[in-house]
A and B are shown apart, each in its own frame.
Chain A
Amino acid sequence: DAGVTQSPTHLIKTRGQQVTLRCSPISGHKSVSWYQQVLGQGPQFIFQYYEKEERGRGNFPDRFSARQFPNYSSELNVNALLLGDSALYLCASSLESPPDTQYFGPGTRLTVL
């Protein structure tokens, strides 16, 4: 079975631009969570969605938004990019709302110049 997939793999943007990252969960998984991992640090929670509803939001500015589609895939949008948004963005899916095991995708590496 396919694992969690994320696209694109790498992305380079300039300050002020907007970016959309995509995530496809494991088939049958209804929950998707997004994390930001800055180099040298642990992942930080951004959002959790379950059955297309937002279940949790981390301590991130309103420039960050997300949504989950009827097929349970998800998008993370970041507006007005800052240099500090450069990071690995990880998507995780689980069958039900956590603490069911979260399975992580390979991530999208975002570089903001």
Chain B
Amino acid sequence: AQSVTQLDSQVPVFEEAPVELRCNYSSSVSVYLFWYVQYPNQGLQLLLKYLSGSTLVKGINGFEAEFNKSQTSFHLRKPSVHISDTAEYFCAVSSTSGTYKYIFGTGTRLKVLA
């Protein structure tokens, strides 16, 4: 079984500052990793995903994440945030075989301050 922990429920940050949203996972098997963003009253939009290969993954809107297998982490980073980045961010994992269901974390609310 897999699980995902997003320790920070809320992250306030000033506009144009860098941000890191933390994600740690637990799994006894190989996993795929994802970050999704959810704007108010909307569905989830994929930011980036790690399936294999390079551990540094670049996504949309200037976000990137690094897969660290030894620390079982997949932290999301952006060097300079904008007001429009204010949203809920979810980390998710799925096994590389079987059902492929996504296991989501509880989410981190990023609030960008002017």
Interface residues of A (CB under 8 A from B): 4, 33, 35, 40-45, 48, 55-56, 58, 90, 92, 97-99, 101-107
Contacts and interface: CB of A to CB of B under 8 A. Distances in A.
Chain A contact residues: over half helix, strand or loop, or mixed? loop
B27 interface: no
A104 B102 contact: no
A43 B32 CA distance: 17
B53 interface: no
Contacts of A55: 99-100
Which 4 residue pairs spanning A and B have beta carbons closest together? A56-B99, A42-B104, A98-B100, A104-B43
A42 B32 contact: no
A107 B106 CA distance: 18
Contacts, number: 61
A33 B45 CA distance: 15
B69 interface: no
Contacts of B45: 104
Contact of B101 (A41, A45, A107): A45
A42 B4 CA distance: 10
A101 B106 contact: no
Interface string B35-70: 010000111111001010000000000000000000
A111 B99 CA distance: 29
30 contacts: A33-B102, A41-B106, A42-B105, A42-B106, A42-B107, A43-B44, A43-B90, A43-B102, A43-B104, A45-B101, A45-B102, A45-B103, A55-B99, A55-B100, A56-B101, A90-B43, A98-B101, A98-B102, A99-B32, A99-B94, A99-B96, A101-B49, A102-B102, A104-B36, A104-B43, A104-B44, A104-B45, A105-B43, A106-B42, A106-B43
A4 B43 contact: yes
Nearest to B42: A106
A111 B64 CA distance: 36
A103 B36 CA distance: 10
